[in-house]
Structure 1
Amino acid sequence: MEIGLQIETIRLLLRPSRLSDTPALFQFLGDREAMKHTHVDETQTACRRRIAVHERRRRHDGYAPWTVIRKDDGKIIGWGGLYNDPSDPGWGCEIGYFFHPDVWRQGYASELISAALNLADNQLKLPAVRAFAHPENAGSRKVLESAGSKVDRFLNRLLFSRPRR
């Protein structure tokens, strides 16, 4: 399956992650403060492992998080998209997004989510997409709600769900 392998939005290039992306991704995926509401990679090796595991899932599912590149300067600024979580299976397709703190509050998460949900709805025909957000992460909750997701229930964090449109 090669659906949505690479996608361009107005400002972003979303492409499959490469192990060579690890140093740039580790700048925020390994930053305790940036990742305070979710999993933080303790080492570059752990970050590399996360990328590799998700890329193996891409071959199986046809989708996995992309490396997010800002088109105007070619800089890696984020990582995210659709995925089936290999470390917490059973939730179905989820959407996640992680960005370097330098680009927070610039609309990149919303742009990424829009592209990912378009892929989920129109090409993959997924019945629903879920997401998790920590209750204290107001920015992430706002992004998910703006994309049409609604809180389904509280587990150890908020579970959002959005049916196919």
Structure 2
Amino acid sequence: MPAPAPRFTPRLRLDPPRLADVPDLFAFMGDPAAMAHTHPRQSLRDCRRYVAVHERQRRRTGFAPWTIRERDGGRIVGWGGLYEDIFDPGWGVEVVYFFHPAVWGRGYATELTRAALAFGREQGLAAVVAFAHPDNRGSRRVLEKSGFVEDRYLPALDRSFYRLALAP
């Protein structure tokens, strides 16, 4: 099966991750400050495993997070998209995103989320969910701008659970 084609937004290129991407991804996914509202990867090896596990999921389900590059220059700035969390299953298809702090505040998370939702519609998904830590105002705002509605707070996860119906 050929590798999925890249997807494009006005400012981003979304590619299935390659092993060569992992050091650039680990630069922020392994940074405790950048990942303050979630779980940082503990090592380069852990990051490689995390990305590989999701790529196996892409082969099975047709979707998984992308390596996010700026179209202008190709610099890796994030990792995200749709996935079913294999480490905490049962929530449904989720949108997830992690970005390098150097690009926070540029609207890339909203651009990625909207592209992921468009892809979800193309795939015939009925709904997408998301989680955001209560203190992560930026992420909460991204979800709200993208049409998600907060469903409830989950004390055991210390996260708000969001939902968005994709069916017309």
Range class of TM-score, shorter chain: over 0.9
CA contact (8 A) 1:14 1:67 kept: yes
- Corresponding residue of 2:20: 20
| Normalised TM-score (structure 1) | 0.96
Q: Distance in 2 between matches of 1:21 and 1:71?
A: 16
Amino acid at match of 1:135: P
- Corresponding residue of 2:130: 131
Deviation at 1:3, TM superposition (A): 10
Q: Deviations over 1:58-97 (max 9, x none)?
A: 0011000000000111100000000011101111100001
Please state if 1:160 is matched with 2:159: no
Q: Distance in 2 between matches of 1:96 and 1:2?
A: 25
Q: Distance in 2 between matches of 1:154 and 1:34?
A: 23
Q: Which runs of 5+ in 2 are unaligned?
A: none
Which portions of structure 1, spanning 4 or more consecutive aligned residues, are displaced by more than 6 angstroms? 1-4
Q: Which runs of 5+ in 1 are unaligned?
A: none
Deviation at 1:5, TM superposition (A): 4.3
Query: Residues 52-131 of structure 1: matches in 2 within 5 Å?
Result: 52-121=52-121, 123-131=122-130
CA contact (8 A) 2:22 2:47 kept: yes
Equivalent residues, number: 164
Q: Secondary structure at the match of 2:77?
A: strand
| Normalised TM-score (structure 2) | 0.94
Q: Secondary structure at the match of 2:134?
A: coil
Q: Distance in 2 between matches of 1:3 and 1:59?
A: 9
Q: Percent identity?
A: 52
CA contact (8 A) 2:4 2:16 kept: no
